[in-house]
Structure 1
Amino acid sequence: MSISTTGVLARPRTADARPDPPAKKRRPPDLRRWISPVALVLLWQAASSTGVLPPDELASPVTVARAAVDLAVDGELGSAFAVSLRRVAVGFVLGAAAGLALGLLAGLSRWSETLVDPPVQMLRTLPHLGLIPLFILWFGIGEEPKIALIACGVAFPLYLNLHSGIRQTDPDLLEAARVLGYTRAERVRHVVLPSAVPQTLVGLRIALGTAWLSLIVAEQVNADAGIGHLINNAREFLRTDVVVVGLLVYALLGLTTDALVRGLERRVLRWQTR
């Protein structure tokens, strides 16, 4: 006699069944976080207005705002922004490609790790900003050393975090996938790489921050265009207002890219908050 499972499958939810958790309400932005930045700007303006802070040392916030508007209207700020953004984009793509490729090789293969990881670790201990003299000797003083410096700053954080994320994959999940008959390629695709995503996104945030830092240093070396060129020209004429505008652009670019990666984290890693 066979027992039908229809009744079991169609069993209604009982009273003691756990209800679905309520959806989390999005909290409004905490305006208290703006108190200290606004207070610092007001203090800065007060120091400039009373003469405590001379304009040849640091321009006032009002003067900086006027300079930003003038540079934007003239188109000088937009063209410099485009040049700097292109440098970071090219350097980031090259560095990310190298870092991810090496991280996958070293993470997925013991033999590759033996060959790849030691030289990468040795190079990682070198301050990449100190490689500028060598890059100038190798590539000249054009765009190549600037892009190479940015690529080096991007490659190492991505390599380290991807390699670490792959190696930290839960062995129980790998064993379960093996028992279920997954091939090695399927285990890598469905278990290893998804497990490495959170750590890789951390590396991406670090790599982007290092890319902007590398750009600031690179554009101080014989740059004929870009935000760094704008800052260098302003320094020669003691235009501290333009220097501050350039620094603010660097800061805003870094904050924007970091916010984009955090948004990507929330979207890709939604399963972690459930």
Structure 2
Amino acid sequence: MTVHNAPEVVATTVARTPVLSRRGVRIAAGFVLPIVLLAVWQLASTSGAFTSSQLPSPAMVWEAAVDLAQRGLLGQYVAISTQRVLIGFAFGAGLGLLLGALVGLSRWSDVLFSPTLAAIRAVPSLAWVPLLILWFKIGEDSKIILIAIGAFFPVYTTVAAALKHVDRHLVEAGRAFGLNGVRLLTTVQLPAVLPSVISGLRLAMAQAWLFLVAAELIASSMGLGFLLNDSQNNGRTDRLFLAIILLAILGIITDSLLGLFERWSARRWG
């Protein structure tokens, strides 16, 4: 009886599998809204309601991308901006993890650092640009430092807040097994707040791209932020749209990579 009904049981199990839990369905569903937006964009740009300088068509943006690629500029701009973001993110997120752990684990550090860092966090990104240019001139250092500032605070805030609420019984159990200091942090406390750490990293990556644009809009001769500013000054709306789309795509790619790291770390330490 059991063998006879086995195919029916398997079929019932497959039928009950939620549709959105299937990877292929989720990937396909993720493309629905972009395709709709692309269609709306095409209709709006060809309806006559907008001039080409106000709203270029998708074909015009694609032609601008091909033109820049043939001149060797598109890949260069993408590579330079991506490099700046990754370096700034690494420094900012690393420092945020360090200070976040310090503040989250030590009351004295919390009292000493939290008020000052909260005040610095409230400073807008553009406010840092003149000072960084004055100190480090118009070079890579000023841009990377600005990106690192943007990446620092999401990681610092989430890690510090999460570590303050780690289950004390879990910490005491770790100490009972002889874990202290850095070993206790890396073995017990950080794995316990892993979802918060990953969320902080993903927010930090988004902030890094935002601060990149702030840096390149004002003090750069290359990169996607420069392309935005140069396109605006020269009335090249097609290139302006291209820069925005590229920033969105790069943001999705880097966030997806962090999502893969999140799944790997959940299997490793979850």
Match for 1:182 among 178, 184, 187?
A: 178
The yes-or-no answer on 1:254 pairing with 2:251 is yes
1:32, distance to aligned residue in structure 2 (A): 4.2
The yes-or-no answer on 1:228 pairing with 2:225 is yes
How does 1:105-116 map onto structure 2 within 5 Å?
A: 105-116=102-113
The yes-or-no answer on 1:44 pairing with 2:49 is no
Task: Report the 3-state secondary structure (helix = DSSP H, G, I; strand = E; otherwise coil) of the residue aligned with 2:24.
Answer: coil
**Counterpart in the other structure of 1:161:** 158
2: CA distance, partners of 1:127 / 1:264: 30
1:215, distance to aligned residue in structure 2 (A): 0.7
**Counterpart in the other structure of 1:8:** none
**Counterpart in the other structure of 1:58:** 55
**Counterpart in the other structure of 2:24:** 28
What amino acid sits opposite 2:70 in the alignment? V
What amino acid sits opposite 2:25 in the alignment? P
How does 1:103-252 map onto structure 2 within 5 Å?
A: 103-178=100-175, 180-185=176-181, 186-252=183-249
Task: Report the 3-state secondary structure (helix = DSSP H, G, I; strand = E; otherwise coil) of the residue aligned with 1:117.
Answer: helix
Q: Which of these two proteins has the greater Rg computed from alpha carbons?
A: 1
**Counterpart in the other structure of 1:69:** 66
The yes-or-no answer on 1:95 pairing with 2:92 is yes
What amino acid sits opposite 2:226 in the alignment? H
Cα offsets for 1:173-195 (capped at 9, x unmatched)? 123334x3423234333211211
2: CA distance, partners of 1:149 / 1:50: 42
1: CA distance, partners of 2:56 / 2:155: 38
1:127, distance to aligned residue in structure 2 (A): 2.3
2: CA distance, partners of 1:228 / 1:271: 37
Task: Report the 3-state secondary structure (helix = DSSP H, G, I; strand = E; otherwise coil) of the residue aligned with 1:55.
Answer: coil
TM-score, length basis structure 2: 0.84
1: CA distance, partners of 2:151 / 2:250: 16
2: CA distance, partners of 1:106 / 1:133: 30
CA contact (8 A) 1:90 1:147 kept: yes
1: CA distance, partners of 2:156 / 2:244: 29
Q: Using a 3 Å threshold, how does the CA distance of structure 1 residues 176 and 98 change in structure 2: closer, same or farther?
A: closer
1:260, distance to aligned residue in structure 2 (A): 0.9
**Deviation larger for 72-81 or 150-159:** 72-81
RMSD: 2.4
CA contact (8 A) 2:125 2:214 kept: no
1:39, distance to aligned residue in structure 2 (A): 2.5
CA contact (8 A) 2:150 2:207 kept: yes
Cα offsets for 1:56-115 (capped at 9, x unmatched)? 112101111122122223211011111111221221122123212211222232222222
CA contact (8 A) 1:216 1:228 kept: yes
Identity %, equivalent residues: 39
Which structure carries more helix by proportion? 2
Q: How many residues align?
A: 251
CA contact (8 A) 1:72 1:78 kept: yes
**Deviation larger for 210-219 or 141-150:** 141-150
Q: Using a 3 Å threshold, how does the CA distance of structure 1 residues 170 and 147 change in structure 2: closer, same or farther?
A: same
1: CA distance, partners of 2:32 / 2:99: 45
CA contact (8 A) 1:165 1:197 kept: no
